[in-house]
Amino acid sequence: MTISMYQASAPVYLQYLNSISAVLDKGAAFAEAKKIDPARILDARLYPDMHPLVKQVQIFTDQAVRGMSRLAGTEPPSFPDTETSFDELKARIARAIAHVQSFKPEQIDGSETRDVVMKTPRGDLTFKGQQYLLQFSLPNFFFHATAAYAILRHVGVELGKMDFMGGPPR
């Protein structure tokens, strides 16, 4: 049995967008229970030269939004990086979920060999769709999801692997 590009992208993005949203709920509850200014947690980093939690979530959502758009051959929407609260980050994740859900399988399936061009400050990067998904978008998505989880765990939020995974697959 083969797996389609849609199956390899949308359900994966959705599972972890939802799980990180729930992890953020636990982060907000932790801040409230411990009487910690939420801004301190949102600005927390694993190491001084790494992005803070808020930026990790912004990049994480961008990967899902841009990934689906690029695979479909459409221009990705821009989400301004203006979030300063747990609620605003959760709203950003909700927008990303809605965007991922807006695609139909037929828009993504068959994108394995489609050219995907990313404009970067260092020049354009060109991938084939499958290469883009498996070797760029999903690894970046998971890197930033993991960093967000790790920051919350590092500051003391009680989280486990199933929090990250979002529970058993459905």
What tens digit of pLDDT does each residue of 103-114 get?
999 999 999 999
The Cα 170–Cα 150 span in angstroms is 25
Quickly count: other Cβ atoms within 10 Å of residue 92's Cβ. 24
Q: Flag whether pLDDT at 170 surpasses 60.
A: no
58, part of any domain: yes
In a domain, 110, yes or no: yes
Segments forming the whole domain that contains residue 61: 5-165
Number of domains in the chain: 1
SS3 115: strand
User: What's residue 18's pLDDT?
Assistant: 97
pLDDT average, residue stretch 62-69: 97
Does any domain span residue 12? yes
In a domain, 60, yes or no: yes
133 occurs within a structural domain: yes
Query: What is the C-alpha to C-alpha distance for residues 42 and 45, in angstroms, rounded to an integer?
Result: 9
The CATH number of residue 25's host domain is 1.20.120.450
What average pLDDT does the chain have? 95
Domain-embedded: residue 170: no
pLDDT given at position 2: 84
Cut 0.85: pTM above it: yes
